[in-house]
Chains A and B, each alone.
Chain A
Amino acid sequence: MMRDENSADSGSGLRPSRRRFVQAAGLAGVTGLTGLSGCLGGGGGGANEITYGIISPMTGPYGGLAEGQRNGAELAIAHVNENDDIDVEITGVYEDTEADPSTGRRKAQSVVEQDGASYIMGAISSSVALALNEFAKEEEVIYNPGGAAVPITGSNCNEWVFRAETNTAQMAEAVSDFTAENLGTNVWFHIADYAYGESVMQRVEKRMKDGHDINVVGRSRSQLGSTNYNSYVSQIANSDADVAVLGMTGGDLINFVKQAAGQGLKENVNLMSPTMTFAVVRGALGEAAYGTYGGVRYLPSIETGDNQSFVEAYQSEYGSAPDNFARAAYMSIRMTAQGIAEADSTDPAEVKDVLPGLEMDTILGPNQFRDCDHQAMNPVWPGELVAPEGGSGPAAVELGEMIDGADALPDCGELGCTL
């Protein structure tokens, strides 16, 4: 496809880099800077000091998720700074992308140029994350995306991007076998009409057909941000579908499931979405979510790695359990910091050579950014949403069998990246 061609092209020609201008000409600034770092570094004692820019969509549709991202990053920075085993001192700077790629890029430029960050983490929507991918390559800084779209470490991957968030392809692995084996073989795909929805449909369909005899009885696409889904619910109800796979997230998913529940669709058709178990979705749906299915990227209750101590620390700091976005931000920064310690250098160019394939312990167990595309090899789970103890409130999640990181992640070539 066209986008793949672009990324192949852009490898050859460098784009103008403001940063090179800064480096080459920055002589005038040097004296001022060394003077400053002398004061700041007083207590550091030889630690690798870096600045991490956290740019999250604090305003706009992802505001609720962005709070988790920011909190997770804050906590990771505090923990890395406290930890004597990781010889890194991080200063965090926080900015708002407003969920807009132009603003996101400008804010990235701001944390790099104003605050001296050479590491950035953030974004949730794929168009902002992809814009930051390009930015990281141009400016030669390390970037941890908070978005889950495959192309970020797939067709648009580059050597500066390291993703701790679980991607859509991994989630497809989590739910595909489970869906085909337990929820039915007559499948209806309903997606929100954008890149994420398309990639859910492609990946899940491909994986379900792989080894299962499934029958796609229908497909429908709603405009991103629709408020009304009755007509799709009617179409699905009037078909032979056993299960509807929903490639949508956030408000779209919430509205769809709520209206489907109202129309009685849940009684005849299983509803499954890779993001159904998200805390925001369960929180906003309440009872309407009981009896639906989803993929699990993360739950506070899981017992992998040092997750429980993370949950405890998060709980005491912010008064609520961490969600997936807090987890992803926390992991991003802690994993990258371990790379910095391993490289014993704060230079992102050196760190990016050490990080790939570096084995480390994370809150999701032993993990690494895979060599060939820098995607973290997170385990995933299928899950069923059930009524919680006490009978009302947000659904609880019954975890299915864990799928190991190595099994959940398709080959790099298949995802479109070879680094």
Chain B
Amino acid sequence: MSVATAVAEQVLNGLVVGMVYVLLAAGLSIIFGVMDVINFAHGELFALGAYFAFAIAGPLGGAGFWVALVVAPLLVGVIGMAIERLTVKRLYGRDPLYHILLTFGLVLIINDLITSVWGKSAQPFPIPAALDQPIALFGFTYSMYNYAIIVIGSVLALGTWLLLSRTQFGMIIRAGSEDREMVRNLGINIDRYYTLTFGFGAALAGVAGIVLGAFQNVSPTMGNAVIIPAFVIVVLGGLGSFRGAVAGGLFVGLVQTLARTYTPFLEGLIVFLLMIVVLVVKPTGLFGTSIGAGEHHDGALLHGAGGGVLSSETRAKLGYAAVGVLVLVPFLAELTGVTYSVTLLEDILIWALFALSLDLVLGYAGLVSLGHTLFYGVGAYASVLTLIHISPSVFVALVVAVVVCAAIAWFVGYLSIRVSGVFFAMITLGFAELFYNAVFKFDFTGGSDGLFGVDVFYGLAGLGIDPGEFEIPLGLFVFDGGIVQYYFLLAMVVGSYLLARRLIRAPFGSVLQAIRESEDRASFIGYDVTAYKRRAFVVSGGLAGLAGGLFAANNGYVAPSFLHWINSGEVIVMTVLGGMGTLYGPMIGAGVFVAAEDILSSYIDQWQLVIGVLFVLFVIFVPRGLVSLPRTVADHPTFGSVVRDQTSVTETEVEQHD
């Protein structure tokens, strides 16, 4: 076989992959373009399409695939419309962050429903017999189904393009994405069109699921596997641009396939490198038109500050009390025998620190970082590598972790902070995924297993505490290495909180908050907005690195999962759950989240479903977070009337809610 045919075959392979990507990205892009909704549940709708098809095609036999190809997307479309009506609709006008959170919850719900109906194992979904054979064309044999993918993808892309550009439906949709109010003023019920568009986007995801399901298999993880690539394509092509989604999909498919063959080392990296380069050079993506795509929502980030019903003295007292309780926990745990609470608390403290670091950029500077686990993971790797190669001292390891992460944060910030909103979220995600895929490739990072068996020493130059040897009996208790570890962790977390508070109360913090409230006004006054944001990002990166470093030093290992994007998602959830824009809110959020997951997953098989439902309800009804609950409750009409009747009772009740 000649080189030319080999290249031609790989180009064809690239087109097949590209077409799959086009199918995946098209629906995502339309939904974003029209409604500004970043739909993380797109991957699950895609999986749902495959599963419906699997359920329909199985009993029907031969023609089943074709019936499923029509019926399953319609079903997914209906579900999409229901999702829009019941949940997404309530969030229009809010920052896209809330859509991310909402759809994050929907992912858990849909995924859990899929596994409870169809089980956890992969299921076979055969290619229809007519297409299931290799054919020889242009001098090489190739799967007929692959040609079919190209045909189906092209037809759908063309059809969608015609629908959007040549029909009245498309015209209204496009007008709605430009100026919703104007369309409404013309007497058109734009809400109905939004519902239809969401359903249409979901149906496209369903088609992609069927096509890809037959290409591979159907499994509960298939949605998770495609959602990040789908986002990359949409962002590369230009958020909200249908043309961009098509071009981006084909482009990524080709580049990825050719790179695979000719530069195998870049496998897994090249797509994210491309995305970062494109976003840095042209933040709107290849075909995007306005950077304002993410900005014509009028809603701001809803922070929890100012929602408290307690005076600042009371709050300070509560703070001291909380620290006091944390100091006493190991002893209480011993007395009650619930020693596991210390373990759980250590995890909570680390996540609290991580959430605090995110809050500095999210809650104060208004930057949605979707790749914050980059710093957490790199901090963990840096500290473990330091402990192995340089010094067993925890202090040295943590300093290295913080410095490395701050440096990376400066670099990432330098490249990305000038882009705002969704683009910033995506570029940080790109960097995090780049590092995630890179650690698999090197020996020094321990590949997919990670690095294990690290010894730590709490001191410098031989002076200090070796937690393995340390033991001081103290009456009934023994003060040993585990306790040293706990108090060290507690001190670091409380110290970081105080540092963050100092920063926020300093003029630096005021400027950040001014930027969050109105970036334009802050820059009119003469502040260098970008520089302030970048500084905040550096501090935040350093603190997240500290969190990762502490976890690694505490547990003696690091693994690639520390860099997985799901951590970034979870820490955003914690921050918003607690109430961003207050420093203690996200820490409370982390505590509630980690504890709830730990407890629920021990007792309920369907715990993901429960957590997902709680998210959705929370994002819709308590967007300002747990710290706003007392105010929300106090302001509620029913509760308000009780307050007026019995003023004396309220104070105690409100305090219980805090």
Contacts and interface: CB of A to CB of B under 8 A. Distances in A.
A130 to B, nearest CB: 5
A133 B133 CA distance: 47
A258 B216 contact: yes
Chain A interface SS verdict (over half)? helix
A239 B217 CA distance: 27
A18 B134 contact: no
B440 A28 contact: no
Contacts of A149: 449
A374 B562 CA distance: 30
A239 to B, nearest CB: 10
A66 B120 CA distance: 9
Contact of B339 (A3, A58, A113, A262): A113
B261 A262 contact: no
Contacts, number: 272
Interface in B116-155: 119-124, 126-127, 132-134, 141-143, 145-146
Interface in B173-227: 212, 215-217, 219-222, 225-226
Given A101-B561, A195-B447, A228-B17, A14 B469 contact: yes
By CB atoms of chain A within 10 A, which of B264, B448, B466, B551 has the most? B448
A288 B208 CA distance: 21
Contacts of B328: none
Contact of A283 (B124, B559, B605): B124
B226 A227 contact: yes
A18 B388 contact: no
A194 B444 CA distance: 14
Nearest to A285: B124
B17 A64 contact: no
B122 A114 contact: no
Interface in A66-92: 66-67
Interface string B415-457: 0000000000000000000000100110110111111111110
B525 interface: no
B107 to A, nearest CB: 12
Contacts of B446: 2-3
Contact of B340 (A67, A113, A196, A231): A113
A107 B600 CA distance: 12
B608 interface: yes
B453 A67 contact: no
B43 to A, nearest CB: 12
Interface stretch (B281-289, B398-406, B481-489, B579-587): B481-489
Interface stretch (A217-225, A304-312, A400-408): A217-225
Contacts of B215: 227-228, 258-259, 262
A264 B146 CA distance: 12
A151 B447 CA distance: 13
Contact of A18 (B132, B451, B482, B607): B482
A33 interface: yes
Contacts of A156: 452-453
A337 interface: no
A245 B100 CA distance: 41
Interface in B342-399: 342-344, 347, 388
Interface in A254-276: 254-255, 258-259, 262-264, 267
Interface stretch (B302-310, B330-338, B640-648): B330-338
A360 interface: no
Contact of B264 (A20, A220, A259, A288): A220
Contact of B20 (A29, A220, A228, A287): A228
A114 B226 CA distance: 38
B343 A109 contact: yes
A102 B607 CA distance: 18
A21 B340 contact: no
Given A28-B335, A110-B602, A3 B451 contact: yes
B448 A194 contact: yes
Interface in A189-240: 193-196, 198, 220-225, 227-228, 230-232, 234-235, 237-238
B476 interface: yes
Interface string B468-483: 1111010011101111
A20 B480 CA distance: 8
B476 A58 contact: no
B220 A63 contact: yes
A373 interface: no
Contact of A96 (B343, B559, B601): B601
B510 interface: no
Contacts of A96: 601-602, 607
Contacts of B268: 193, 223
A7 B485 CA distance: 22
Contacts of B221: 60-61, 251
Contact of B448 (A95, A98, A126): A126
Nearest to B259: A231
Given A231-B13, A231-B260, A225 B225 contact: yes
Nearest to B481: A16
Interface in A123-176: 126-127, 130-131, 133-134, 149, 151, 156
Nearest to B350: A102
Contact of A15 (B344, B441, B448, B455): B455
Contacts of A398: none
B294 interface: no
A24 interface: yes
Contact of A95 (B6, B20, B456, B602): B602
A28 to B, nearest CB: 5
A255 B339 contact: no
A227 B212 contact: yes
A18 B339 contact: yes
Contacts of A228: 16-17, 20, 215, 257
Contact of B440 (A126, A224, A235): A224
A21 B562 CA distance: 28
A20 B283 CA distance: 55
Contacts of A10: 453-455
Contact of B217 (A130, A196, A235, A285): A285
Contacts of B450: 101, 127, 130
A134 B557 contact: yes
B561 A130 contact: no
Interface string B605-632: 1011000000000000000000000000
B275 to A, nearest CB: 16
Contacts of A114: 338, 340
A25 B470 CA distance: 15
Contact of A16 (B1, B257, B485): B485
A390 interface: no
A131 B559 contact: yes
Interface of B: 1, 6, 9-10, 13-14, 16-17, 20, 115, 119-124, 126-127, 132-134, 141-143, 145-146, 212, 215-217, 219-222, 225-226, 257, 260-261, 264, 267-268, 334-335, 337-340, 342-344, 347, 388, 437, 440-441, 443-444, 446-456, 466-471, 473, 476-478, 480-485, 551, 555-557, 559-562, 598, 601-602, 605, 607-608
30 contacts: A3-B452, A6-B451, A6-B454, A7-B453, A10-B455, A59-B601, A64-B119, A66-B120, A67-B120, A98-B601, A101-B559, A102-B347, A102-B562, A109-B340, A110-B343, A110-B598, A113-B339, A126-B448, A134-B452, A149-B449, A193-B448, A195-B447, A223-B437, A230-B17, A251-B122, A255-B216, A259-B143, A262-B143, A287-B126, A288-B124
Given A149-B449, A286-B124, 10 more contacts: A10-B453, A16-B470, A25-B478, A32-B337, A58-B120, A59-B608, A106-B344, A113-B339, A234-B6, A262-B145
Interface of A: 1-3, 6-7, 9-10, 13-18, 20-22, 24-29, 32-33, 58-61, 63-67, 95-96, 98, 100-102, 105-107, 109-110, 113-114, 126-127, 130-131, 133-134, 149, 151, 156, 193-196, 198, 220-225, 227-228, 230-232, 234-235, 237-238, 250-251, 254-255, 258-259, 262-264, 267, 280, 283-288, 394
Which 4 pairs across A and B sit closest by C-beta, in order of nearness?
Answer: A264-B134, A64-B121, A16-B481, A194-B448
